[in-house]
Amino acid sequence: MQDTTKLIHITHLHHATFLVADLNRARIFYENVLGLVPDGKRPEMSFPGVWYNVGLLQQIHLMQLPNPETSTQRPAYGGRDRHIALSVNNLNALMQKFDSATISYTISMSGRPALFCRDPDDNALEFIECESSL
């Protein structure tokens, strides 16, 4: 019989981290376009960065550090690249925001209400419309 006191249960994704070359440029995208608000409660680190709360328990952490993959070519379609997926309550409003900010995006090839875009540092993000988004 298995000892269940030693089982590990992952409860949620705590945070996702993206490397950025220019923190100020990245902040314009994450704050002005996506509407995220910096979390001022996070401690200072030995490099520039910013934390954003996403939902109740998750965060995005931007770190201005050298990218070890500068010569790596990312796939044109973000859905075929490593990415994070974020729930949104209104995909059409997000598309209008991207259009007005001239941010390129692609609609999900799966047919579900979702789109992919890249931040200024080529990090891929997926946005999925969910009725229960907070």
Residue 25 confidence (pLDDT)? 96
83: buried, middle or exposed (CB in 10 Å: 19+, 13-18, 0-12)?
middle
C-beta neighbour count of 7 within 10 angstroms: 7
Spelled out in words, what is the top-level CATH class assigned to the domain 13-67+74-129?
alpha beta
Residue 5 confidence (pLDDT)? 67
Of 123, 40, 71, the closest CA to residue 49 belongs to 40
Q: Which parts of the chain have pLDDT scores under 50?
A: 133-134
Residue 115 confidence (pLDDT)? 95
Q: Where are the domains of the chain?
A: 13-67+74-129
Amino acid symbol at 49: G
The 10s digit of each residue's pLDDT in 94-119 is: 999 999 999 999 998 888 999 999 99
Residue 133 confidence (pLDDT)? 46
Confidence (pTM) = 0.84
Residue 131 confidence (pLDDT)? 67
Residue 110 confidence (pLDDT)? 87
